[in-house]
Amino acid sequence: MNNHQENDFYSKFWDKPRHALAQIFELIGKIWHGYEIVGMEHLPKGPAIVVFHHPVILVGYALFFTKLFKETGRLCHSVIDHALYGIPGLNMFWDVIFLRDFKKAECVEILKKGHLLGIAPGGAREANFSNDCTLMWGNRTGFARLALEAKVPIIPIFTQNSCEAYRTFGKTRLTKWLYEKTRRVILPIYGGFPVKLRTFIGEPIPYDPNISATELAEKTKTALENLQNRHQKWPGNILRALSERFDKQYKAN
């Protein structure tokens, strides 16, 4: 392997490692979660920002971009917290599958090259403290400003039972206060339950130069909440999510 191939993660050299990883993830998704995608036709052939809720473990999203790569060959870039990118020994792994702490200019360039870009506006706060997939975006509009600047649509996606596969405990005022002060609190995680996972891809929210970033962010939030309410039973229940593995009568509608 020469240095150019080593540093260029778009090089065909990395296709074999990516396909090997995708094969493993696809097998896990099929055996452990009976994973399915509904609505692949809503993904545009060109660039778009994929927006999703951030559960404690992004197993549904990982299976989504794995299946996308296996079926279409498309690479979905994903924005991750810079703290994750700084974990020793994992940088190359993140690079190979295009999970990075991309800066704004890099995101614009990715979209201009025709790629998909995944963003979870709620981030670690949502992963730690969200209840029943509640969106915790606050006033975050960065993803909407990015979509307007790059002139691309936004695609909301939601993975059914993603909050039942893994859960956290220790959600208290103290831990929330510590998180807000340090942004380094990770609550204890339990789970790995073989619940049914289905990712629903919503209809694109097209680029509209006549709306503000705040309006676009709110429009995206509403679209994602509609997906959640349509395809998830509340409150969340692990046993019910497990039983859905055997529900042969399920229909997407």
Cα dist from 213 to 179, 184, 253, whole Å: 27, 28, 31
Residue type, 237: N
CB 49 within 8 A of CB 219: no
Catalytic status, residue 54: yes
Three-state DSSP at 21 gives helix
Report d(CA 111, CA 169) in Å as an integer.
37
Identify the active-site residue in 4, 54, 82, 231.
Answer: 54
Phi, psi of 193, rounded to the nearest 5 degrees: -70, 140
CB 205 within 8 A of CB 154: yes
CB 197 within 8 A of CB 33: yes
Q: How many angstroms from the chain centroid is the CA of residue 171?
A: 22
Report d(CA 116, CA 49) in Å as an integer.
6
Beta strands in 39-129 (DSSP E): 48-52, 76-79, 99-100, 116-119
Q: Which residue numbers are catalytic?
A: 54
